A and B are shown apart, each in its own frame.
Chain A
């Protein structure tokens, strides 16, 4: 049973560019959340998608946007990249129907470096 898969694993972009990160949730999961983990910090919640809609959002600017597809996979888009956007971006999936005592299943992340 495949867990959460994210692509690419590493990415280098230039300031001002745009980037798209991808996530496929664990089989049986329909809700996808994205987190940003800066170096030496804990993950911070960006937003959550369910039924192809953004359901919750953390304290991130509108440069961060996302999408969820009918197959539950998701994309995270960041426009006008800043040096401070350099981080590990983690995708987490979970089943929506009832709160999961097992928390969220995390992918291995995409390491984004902005130069």
Chain B
């Protein structure tokens, strides 16, 4: 079956690193994504990783992929109060011409000053 699991809450202090974890079930997923959603807003793509990679770094963001364990993580270095939001992990399935995205329930990140 298709399922994406995330822990629901994470609280960190400003300046610390945040690590948000995700597990997925479909081994045929091609791309895995991290989206950010601020209150009352839509989804903003933060970063993605292709399934044949195991790490990707983009400024303060580091994505790690363990394909064997179907585990994905997002590390945010030097977390700021502006990073407070809900973070969604999503897998893109291979089905159809485009495939659709399967999202987790989201991890609410709270950053304390």
- Whether B45 lies near A101 (C-beta < 8 A) is no
B98 touching A44 by the CB < 8 A rule?
no
Count of chain A residues with Cβ under 8 Å from any Cβ of B? 29
Q: Contacts A31-B98, A56-B100: A103 and B92 contacting too (C-beta < 8 A)?
A: yes
Asked if A73 lies at the interface with its beta carbon under 8 angstroms from chain B, I say no
Q: Which residues of B contact A92 (CB under 8 A)?
A: 43, 101
Q: Enumerate chain B residues within 8 angstroms of A66, measured Cβ to Cβ.
A: none
**Chain A nearest CB, measured from B41 CB (Å):** 6
Given contacts A102-B48, A103-B92, A109-B42, are A42 and B98 in contact (CB under 8 A)? no
Which of B11-19, B58-66, B67-75, B103-111 sits within the interface? Answer: B103-111
Q: Is the CB of A42 within 8 A of B100?
A: no
List 19 extra interface pairs beyond A43-B101, A109-B41, CB under 8 A: A40-B105, A41-B105, A41-B106, A42-B4, A45-B101, A48-B96, A48-B98, A48-B100, A50-B98, A92-B43, A92-B101, A94-B98, A99-B99, A102-B45, A103-B92, A105-B45, A106-B35, A108-B41, A109-B42
